[in-house]
Structure 1
Amino acid sequence: MPSIRSARLLRSLSAGTATATLALGLAACGSSASDSTAATSADQAANGTVTVAALSNGAGTQTDLKVSEVASLHAELPASVAKSGQLVIGVGALPAGFPPLAYVGSDQKTLTGAEPDLGRLVAAVLGLKPVLENATWENLFVGIDSGKTDVGFSNITDTEERKRKYDFASYRQDNLAFEVVKSSTWNFNGDYTTLAGKTVAVGSGTNQEKILLEWQAKLKAAGKQLTIKYFPDNNSTHLALVGGKIDAYFGPNPGIAYQIRQDANTPNPTRNAGTYSGAGASLQGLIAATTKKDSGLVKPVADAINYLIKNGQYAKWLAAWNLSNEAVSTSQINPPGLPLSNS
């Protein structure tokens, strides 16, 4: 998975594809993770409980969620998946992980994060054993293509280009966000003119830089100034923010959610000052579970997500990872994605 500074080049990746932002000290992903590193999630699911944010090393709040198999949804599964009794969940978190979405936990072996946790929850609803397969970003899709992986839960953005090969079941908004120090009174409400007079840091070569540069040009045409700053690494960006050298940092929302949690009990807490769709002004970007096209799996996955939404486990999953501001009201099958001209 690319680093945050290289993520979103040409918008090929999602708003939070590599959200190891401004963060230090979490364990890096190691070798491929299988059901042996799924902690006790399979046993818990059998008992009607799935623990989310386990071994999160401070990135999440461990929460036990009651989830049982729904027979009517299990009946929707393709025969081959139902017969196997397992859901092979692909996560593209090698080599370094991207907290809080997918990374190796505090035991140095278990794959944790919001993405594998949702995969475990969906498996529980469908009455399947979750089998986690951790791979590089590229090999995640190789696994789906080959049929070795049933579904990808890896912060994959729904795009029209990807729809040529895959089916999608959406489950999270694909958002960017502004991080500011907690004492700041500035908020972003979607109107770029509120950035006039501000100094904002952004990663070079990212989609958020592209958006910020467009806003800067519009403000300049109106006789107003937006100063954009670049820093060599995440730590220096964070130091610039808490040190008052910049007014805000513009980056992937999940990574900012993670950093805010890390800062919460420090002398320099930060907060989220507002989000913006990773797809731009004309479309709300969406993150989606990804299956091989016409495999027959996308509907039961979407229905399982909607079951979790309706029964409250979905909201608790998001809250456990500080991602409630990316909630969707329903899981959609193949909703409008980033257009081919912007994928």
Structure 2
Amino acid sequence: MPYDLGYVYDEELTEGKYCPHMRVTYERQLVIIFLEDARTAVWDGMAGDDPRVVSLLRDVFLQPPSVLPYNLSQDPYYLVSSKGGSWHYIHGFLHLMFSGQRKGFFVEAGALDGQQLSNSLWLEQELGWNGLLIEPNVVSYRALLAKHRKAWASNTCLSWDHLSRRSVHVSLGVESGYMVPWWHVIGSSYQLGVTMNSNKYDSFINMADHSYSWTQCFPLSSYLLALNISTIDVLSLDTQGSEKEILYSFPWNSVTVRVVIVEMVQDSLEPDADFLTFMNARGFLLLSHQEDYILVQQRDPFLSRRLS
């Protein structure tokens, strides 16, 4: 591993929690964080295209695609739950748009364990695509690495503007015995201070155990610079409330994005008019919307033919 591992304490400072990139000591009811390696010191406010930020991300926070055979779960209950929620809705459009297209590139932020509700696994397994999986929750990320996905992976979070920053990640979990799918809860984990325009997930948040850890966040552009990527065929965002800000700060003039899948949790059944105006000005057409919006680049000739 490119970094050392350590522990972080929960809000009562009583239970040690696994957390990467740091070691935590408890002293006089204060949590004192010591970075194990000076290379991991990224200050808030550094531009995402700063060479030091890009180099750090590439050298420390990116895990290369696995060369080992897939290690996907075959548990029947898991397989049913892995295709719950909006999975069928999204994959119907992915099949329509990309069946037969080989060797694309995806970015999936909020990748969970790399199999549960994955919007990218089919693209990787069946079409041979490469990509990037971003997951800030440590438990989910460890499970993701164990799946041996053939994509880059990063235990970080996406910054909601064009600057690098450290953020407190709130990880949710439940004790055994609760009759609720684990991904409903762990998938509701979020960055402290980021809120949704809905109380839809409040029941999961309120019932869950909470633990806190520092997470390094980078602008999406930093990952693309680190990997030398200028085209994203599918960009999937599920970051529990920061999706619009991520897209508002994205360098649309220097990166081509063909399809955007973005979770938009809201109480209204009507699409977000201001957000669609922003995306329309960048050439995107709203193909469909439920809890997830599917937006397609109108100037893409291949997609235009597929959807006509």
User: TM-score, normalized by length of structure 2?
Assistant: 0.27
Ranked by relative contact order (alpha carbons within 8 Å, sequence separation 6 or more), the top structure is 1
User: TM-score, normalized by length of structure 1?
Assistant: 0.25
More helix by share: 1
More strand by share: 2
